[in-house]
C-alpha cells in the first residue's frame, strides 16, 4: 500500500479520534443508583426488551420484567415506553402490589399487575414477558389450544391455558389494570410457562431472562407452525414424555440463541 494512502488513513483516524474524545471530555450522564446486586440482571433486562422488539414479539406495546435480586418480593421493569427504546436508566423498581417505589414523576405500564400478580404466586418465576403478538391472538379467540408442535416449543407442554377477562369481570377495556385481574390471570396460568389472554396477547414466564425471551419468541413461532399444520391435516403433537425431555435439553442450550440475539441487537447506548 502506498505511503499516500497510509497518510489518508492517518488523517481519517485523527478525525475519528477527535470525534470520540471531544464528547467524552464533557461530563458523562449520571449513572443510576443500582436497583440490582448483579448488574447483569439489569443489562439482560434491557437486552430482553431490545431483542423481543427486534424479533417482532413486542412492538410499541408489551413489556418485560425480572424479579429483584435485592428483595425477591419486588420486581424491576422499564417505565412506560416502547421496549425498542429502553435503556438501563429507564428501569424502575416495583413492590409486590405492582406500585412503583420511587416513581419520580415517571409513568408506569398500566398492566404492571400482570407481573405483580404472577411474582406473588410463582416463587419459581424470575422473569416475565407480556406481548400483544398478532400470531397468538387466533389461539386466544377461537377455542383452539396452542400446543407444542415441535421440540423447540416443548415448554408449551399440554397446551397454553387462556384467560378471558369477560369471565368474572364482564365488559372491561381488556387490560390487566389491577391486582384482581392480575390474580385472575395468574390463577389461569397455574404452573404453566405460557398463558394466552383472550383478544389481547400472551404472557410467558421463566426462571431466567434468557429462557423467558426464548419462550416468548418460540411461542410466537409455534403459533405460525401450528396454523400452517392445521391447514394441512391433524398434527401429531409432542407426547408428554417427549415434551418433558425436549424442554429440559433445549433450555439447557438457551445460551446459543441468546448470544446470537444479543449480537444482533449490538451495543446499546
User: Which of positions 194-213 make contact with its own copies (CB under 8 A)?
Assistant: 198-201
Which of 138, 183, 207, 265: binder of its own copies (CB under 8 A)? 138
Question: 162 phi and psi, to 5 degrees?
Answer: -120, 125
How far is C-alpha 189 from the geometric centre of its chain's CA atoms? 17
Residues known to be catalytic = 111
User: Does position 89 bind its own copies by CB under 8 A?
Assistant: no
Using CB under 8 A as the binding criterion, the count of chain residues that bind its own copies stands at 91
Q: Of residues 172-191, which lie at the interface with its own copies (CB under 8 A)?
A: 172-175
Which of 156, 171, 207, 211: binder of its own copies (CB under 8 A)? 171
For 17, 25, 38, the CA distances from 212, given in Å and listed in that order, are: 40, 40, 18
Helix (H) and strand (E) counts in the chain: 9, 7
Q: How far apart are CA 163 and CA 186, in angstroms?
A: 9
Cβ distance to its own copies smaller for residue 99 or 228:
228
Stretch of 95-103, 116-124, 188-196, 244-252 contacting its own copies, by CB under 8 A: 244-252
Cβ distance to its own copies smaller for residue 125 or 243:
243
Q: How far apart are CA 193 and CA 160, in angstroms?
A: 8
DSSP letters for 196-219: EETTTEEEEEESSHHHHHHHHHHH
Q: Is 149 left (phi over 0), alpha (psi -120 to 50) or beta?
A: alpha
User: Does position 230 bind its own copies by CB under 8 A?
Assistant: yes
CA angle at residue 21 from 19 to 27, to 5 degrees? Answer: 115
User: Does position 96 bind its own copies by CB under 8 A?
Assistant: no
Q: Where are the alpha helices (DSSP H) in 122-269?
A: 137-141, 166-169, 179-189, 209-232, 240-252, 255-265
Stretch of 65-73, 90-98, 113-121, 149-157 contacting its own copies, by CB under 8 A: 149-157
Which of 88, 95, 152, 178: binder of its own copies (CB under 8 A)? 152
What is the smallest separation between the CB atom of 100 and its own copies, expressed in angstroms?
Answer: 17
Stretch of 67-75, 95-103, 118-126, 261-269 contacting its own copies, by CB under 8 A: 261-269
Q: Of residues 54-83, which lie at the interface with its own copies (CB under 8 A)?
A: 59-61, 80-82
Sole residue written with cell 497518510? 7
Contact 64, 129 (CB under 8 A): yes
Q: Of residues 29-58, which lie at the interface with its own copies (CB under 8 A)?
A: none
Cβ distance to its own copies smaller for residue 28 or 31:
28
Residues 6+ apart with CB under 8 A from 21: none
What is the smallest separation between the CB atom of 257 and its own copies, expressed in angstroms?
Answer: 3
Cβ distance to its own copies smaller for residue 55 or 192:
55
What is the smallest separation between the CB atom of 46 and its own copies, expressed in angstroms?
Answer: 16
Cβ distance to its own copies smaller for residue 37 or 234:
234
Amino acid at each position: 500500500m502506498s505511503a499516500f494512502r497510509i497518510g489518508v488513513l492517518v488523517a481519517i483516524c485523527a478525525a475519528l479520534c477527535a470525534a470520540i474524545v471531544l464528547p467524552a471530555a464533557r461530563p458523562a450522564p449520571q449513572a443510576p443508583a443500582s436497583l440490582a446486586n448483579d448488574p447483569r440482571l439489569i443489562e439482560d433486562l434491557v437486552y430482553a426488551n431490545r431483542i423481543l422488539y427486534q424479533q417482532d414479539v413486542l412492538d410499541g406495546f408489551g413489556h418485560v420484567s425480572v424479579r429483584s435480586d435485592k428483595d425477591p418480593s419486588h420486581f424491576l421493569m422499564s417505565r412506560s415506553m416502547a421496549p425498542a427504546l429502553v435503556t438501563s436508566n429507564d428501569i424502575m423498581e416495583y413492590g409486590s402490589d405492582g406500585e412503583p417505589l420511587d416513581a419520580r414523576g415517571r409513568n408506569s405500564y398500566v398492566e404492571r399487575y400482570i407481573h405483580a400478580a404472577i411474582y406473588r404466586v410463582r416463587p419459581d418465576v424470575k422473569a416475565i414477558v407480556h406481548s400483544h403478538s398478532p400470531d397468538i391472538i387466533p389461539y386466544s379467540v377461537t377455542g383452539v389450544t396452542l400446543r407444542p408442535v415441535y421440540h423447540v416449543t416443548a415448554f408449551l407442554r399440554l397446551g397454553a391455558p387462556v384467560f378471558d377477562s369477560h369471565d368474572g369481570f364482564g365488559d372491561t377495556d381488556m387490560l390487566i389494570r389491577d391486582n384482581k385481574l392480575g390474580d385472575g390471570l395468574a390463577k389461569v396460568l397455574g404452573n404453566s410457562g405460557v398463558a394466552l389472554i383472550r383478544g389481547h396477547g400472551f404472557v410467558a414466564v421463566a426462571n431466567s431472562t434468557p429462557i423467558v425471551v426464548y419462550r416468548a419468541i418460540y411461542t410466537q413461532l409455534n403459533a405460525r407452525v401450528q396454523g400452517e399444520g392445521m391447514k394441512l391435516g391433524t398434527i401429531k403433537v409432542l407426547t408428554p414424555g417427549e415434551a418433558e425431555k425436549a424442554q429440559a435439553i433445549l433450555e439447557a442450550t438457551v445460551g446459543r440463541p441468546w448470544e446470537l440475539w444479543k449480537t444482533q441487537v449490538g451495543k446499546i447506548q
